[in-house]
Amino acid sequence: MKRRSLAISLDESAETPVFLQIARALTVAIRSGRLGPGDPLPSSRALAGQLGVHRNTVLAAYDELRAEGWIEALAARRTQVAASLPIEAARPGAARGRRAARAGGLGFDLPEHDGPAPEEAPPPGAMILSGGVPDLRLVPRTALARAYRRALLRRGDDPLAYGDPRGDAGLRREVAAMLSAERGLAVGADDLLITRGSQMAIALCAQALLRPGDAVAVEAMGYRPAWDALARRAELLPVPIDDEGIDVDALAALVERRPIRAVYLTPHHQFPTTALLSAARRIRLLALARARRFAVIEDDYDNEIHYSGRPVLPLASADRDGLVIYVGTLSKILAPGLRVGFLSGPAPVIARATALRERLDRQGDHAVEAALAELLEDGEIGRHARRMRRVYQGRREALCEALAARLGGALSFRLPAGGMAIWARADPTIDVDAWARRAAARGVVVATARRFAFDGQPRPCLRLGFAAWTEEELWVAIGRLAAALDGRGSPRRRSG
């Protein structure tokens, strides 16, 4: 058999002794199929010469490999890879073997991709107005970093240990206090499960609540990531929405035809239209849920972000019958990458969701949670929320002015009372999806109604998020959007 020269690189400065480095490199070569069972190894003298080490070093490496059963000595001082090693000689198809392993070459019968189609990547450097994300440039990072440091160094109740799967006790206390003081929910620390964002809360809620054959009603335009989590357990039934949120009469008609286990909705700022669920519909919805015995999954994702007076209290605050499962998050008021949300509701749902969470990821990040508890307790998050409300209100106004000035003939909209986006209706002669594509080529990304529609059909509406951009930036973005409408000027060059 032809001897290949073995590519082994040594690091003299490493802590691992050189003989072990050689032994490990040979093990890797055997595992990867570059050396197969029965293949001869170079003589210790030859390999020492190749590597520029003392022969005894190579002998020590060979001794090690022999002791572990990787190689065997033959007569006349020849050494080979152990002939009986249960490793396939992968050459010459070694690369093919690796590809097959990556692709699940053992023949696992996996579905290709059962999630939503990935969204088209925005052009590099584009201004993204499609999401409702906060301005991460304004996050109080120094305070967060200090609180995180203190959490890591605190005495007792070590956040790096296994801990309560419901989340850091301090954070549960602070969130419960905030929910009682500001949102009218009668909850204590033990009624809460801290999750990794509302996405985990909704997915756990789906697993805890839904059984095969169940149906869940959803808003006919809504939040697709939540639908994806719910649809794994139940059939989803769309209910029309209008300027007052979900159409509760239509929901009542639906449950006449087909019992549902739950309705998932965004009553505070309907996603994506920002409509507030009217008081009459709130009362009617809770009465219907009580009469028809279904749960209400209330996604209150941006409760803190309102611009006129106090926000309307959540449905959960009026729930006397244990019907509402309440989902909240710090993604909007602070930052989505922290992955901190919470779930509250009837005790059996929380207990089951907690058991499921424990199975899935044991517990959240208690160090981050403890840091956030401190920021809630010392008022930092409250101050940040007040500041963001002022900043975002200015941005909301700037966006409205820019839209009126540059696109007044093409778009109409109502000033939203809260939230981080404007829902605008386009002149019906405009193909909004084509417009959005042209706008993306000019460096501004907006979301069209099709993305939120249960039926995936186009509608002449756009969602424009304003929170992440300064007032000046918003004017630039709307300038580009206007240019994309009538084709003025040249598209922005893509970089990269």
Ligand X SMILES: Cc1ncc(COP(=O)(O)O)c(C=O)c1O
Rounded to whole angstroms, the Cα distance separating 278 from 379 reads 31
With CB under 6 A as the contact rule, the residue among 70, 271, 342, 423 that binds ligand X is 271
What H or E segment, with its residue span, contains residue 109? Answer: none
Q: What is the DSSP string of 171-211?
A: HHHHHHHHHHHHH-----GGGEEEESHHHHHHHHHHHHH--
By the rule CB under 6 A, 207 interacts with ligand X: no
Exactly one of 72, 168, 191, 299 binds ligand X (CB under 6 A); that residue is 299
Residues 325-354 that bind ligand X (CB under 6 A): 329, 331, 336, 341
Q: Supply the minimum distance, in Å, between the C-beta of residue 104 and ligand X.
A: 29
CB 384 to ligand X: min, Å: 17
The neighbour count for residue 481, using CB atoms within 10 Å, is 27
Q: How far is the CB of 9 from ligand X (least distance, A)?
A: 44
Q: Pick one of 33, 123, 132, 345: the residue that binds ligand X (CB under 6 A).
A: 132
Query: Is 167 near ligand X (CB under 6 A)?
Result: no
- Cβ 219 vs Cβ 241: under 8 Å: yes
Q: Is 289 buried (19+), middle (13-18) or exposed (0-12) by CB count in 10 A?
A: buried
Which residue number is nearest to ligand X in terms of Cβ?
197
The torsion region of residue 469 among left (phi > 0), alpha (psi -120 to 50) and beta comes to beta
d(CA 31, CA 27): 6
Q: How far is the CB of 328 from ligand X (least distance, A)?
A: 8
> Beta partners for 195?
341
Tell me which stretch binds ligand X (CB under 6 A): 193-201, 316-324, 435-443, 460-468: 193-201
- Determine, following the binding rule CB under 6 A, whether residue 264 of this chain makes contact with ligand X: no
User: At residue 397, what is the residue type?
Assistant: E
DSSP-based three-state secondary structure for 40: strand
Q: How far is CA 126 from the centre of its chain?
A: 21
Q: How many of the chain's residues bind ligand X (CB under 6 A)?
A: 13
Inter-residue contact 127 to 445 (CB < 8 Å): yes
Q: Which residues pair with 411 in a beta bridge?
A: 426
Nearest CA to 202 out of 373, 349, 318, 368 is that of: 349
Which region holds residue 184: left if phi is over 0, alpha if psi is between -120 and 50, else beta? left
CB of 131 to ligand X, least distance (A): 6
Nearer to ligand X, 39 or 298 (CB): 298
Nearest distance, CB of residue 336 and ligand X, angstroms: 4
Rg value, the chain, Cα:
30
Site membership for ligand X, residue 274 (CB under 6 A) = no
Helices 471-486 and 432-441: crossing angle in degrees, nearest 10, is 120
301 touches ligand X by CB under 6 A: yes
Closer residue to ligand X, CB minimum distance, 51 or 185: 185
Q: Helices H, strands E: what count in the chain?
A: 15, 17
Residue 465 belongs to what H/E stretch? Answer: strand 461-465
Among 36, 170, 197, 311, binds ligand X (CB under 6 A): 197
Minimum CB distance to ligand X smaller for 58 or for 356? 356
Q: Least separation, in Å, of the C-beta of 184 and ligand X?
A: 20
Distance CA 423, CA 140 (A): 29
Judged by CB, which is closer to ligand X: 227, or 294? 227
Q: Which of 57, 198, 273, 363 binds ligand X (CB under 6 A)?
A: 198
By CB under 6 A, is residue 199 in contact with ligand X?
yes
Provide DSSP, 358-387: HHHHSS--HHHHHHHHHHHHTTHHHHHHHH
Residues 99-131, buried b or exposed e (16+ Cβ, 10 A)? Answer: eeeeeeeeeeeeeeeeeeeeeeeebeebbbbbe
CB of 340 to ligand X, least distance (A): 8
**Beta carbon nearer to ligand X, 30 or 265:** 265
Nearer to ligand X, 341 or 345 (CB): 341
Q: Is 44 in the site for ligand X (CB under 6 A)?
A: no
For ligand X, which is the closer residue by CB, 199 or 344? Answer: 199
Per CB under 6 A, the segment of 68-76, 194-202, 355-363, 473-481 that binds ligand X is 194-202
CB nearer ligand X, residue 248 or residue 447: 447
Instruction: Name the segment binding ligand X (CB under 6 A); options: 195-203, 233-241, 316-324, 470-478.
Output: 195-203
- The DSSP secondary-structure symbol of 449 reads G
Interaction between residue 227 and ligand X (CB under 6 A): no
Q: Which is nearer to ligand X, 62 or 271 (CB)?
A: 271
Measured from the CB of residue 222, what is the shortest distance to ligand X in angstroms? 7
Which of 130, 207, 266, 274 is in the footprint of ligand X by CB under 6 A?
A: 266
Bridge partners of residue 462, in order along the sequence: 424, 448
Which parts of this chain interact with ligand X (CB under 6 A)? 132, 197-199, 223, 266, 271, 299, 301, 329, 331, 336, 341
